[in-house]
Amino acid sequence: MDDAAPAFSEYGAGPLFAMLHPGGTDSRALTAIAASFADSYRVLTPDRRGHGRTPDTEAPMTFEGMADETIAFLEEHGTGPSPLLGYSDGAVVALLVAHRRPDLVSQLVFVSGVFSLDGWPAETLDSEVPAFLAEAYAEVSPDGLDHYPVVLEKLRRMHELGPTLTLTDLASIRLPVLVLVGDDDDMPLEHILELYRALPLGELAVVPHASHGVLVEKPRLCHDLIAEFLRPDKPPTFAPVRRSVDV
């Protein structure tokens, strides 16, 4: 864990529900979905190192390091297994946490991410960053706007090196996972299906008329899908195939 504890936002009261933001942004990207669960959960949205209100360090960024940060955060703020949501880069981090520390995660909501290097679209490494992201960074970062290119280069390098989970790794994640993606996401649906099929307790939601911004574009639908996934008393389905055997 780095020497600076992550800044975070908090919504509501009740059992913990942590949510992890996309890369290059910060916890404000989760405001709508986090607030929508405030009547049932204590929702915490931490800013990872070098994002939002949490300062950067000289160390490189890695998905494994971000998972370390998140594990420490959950250990500090949680009292046992709890739901965890990750969005884009945050989904990768959340998946690593579930793989390494299933004792901290009761259910995982995996939104628009990948599990291995071949899932990244080419533009993840090569595309120009929209100006509004730099402006948003400058609004809250203690490091100042001049540091944003440093963060972007660290993220670019991170995406060149990871994640590196295998299908065998995914098969070992024996907790409920909702894989949620827009039908027009730049994350390849073939890769998303491979992820879903490898997860023993995976569920899949493809949101129509939605892109990589699915949580922002369809907040009400996404809330309802996630809430249904999290409910403890889900009724049985009539003709199950993947879930016909108790795993």
User: How high is the mean pLDDT in each 10-residue block of the chain (247 residues)?
Assistant: 80 98 97 98 98 97 98 96 98 99 99 96 72 94 96 95 98 98 96 98 98 97 98 89 64
Q: Are 73 and 50 in contact (CB under 8 A)?
A: no
Q: Residue 8: what pLDDT? A: 98
Quote the radius of gyration of the chain (alpha carbons, Å): 17
For residues 1 and 64, give the distance between their C-alpha atoms in angstroms, rounded to a whole number. 11
Q: Please list, in sequence order, all residues whose beta carbon lies within 8 angstroms of the beta carbon of residue 221, skipping any fewer than 6 positions away.
A: 207
Tokens representing 31 are: 């405001």
Q: Residue 125: what pLDDT? A: 59
Tokens representing 221 are: 């639908």
- Hey, what amino acid is at 158? M
Beta-strand pair 82-87/42-46 = unpaired
Q: Which helix (H) or strand (E) is 197 found in, with range? A: helix 189-198
Q: Residue 247: what pLDDT? A: 44
Q: Residue 129: what pLDDT? A: 80
Q: Which CATH superfamily is domain 8-230 in?
A: Alpha/Beta hydrolase fold, catalytic domain (3.40.50.1820)
Tokens representing 116 are: 């291995």
Q: Residue 1: what pLDDT? A: 41
For residues 107 and 82, give the distance between their C-alpha atoms in angstroms, rounded to a whole number. 7
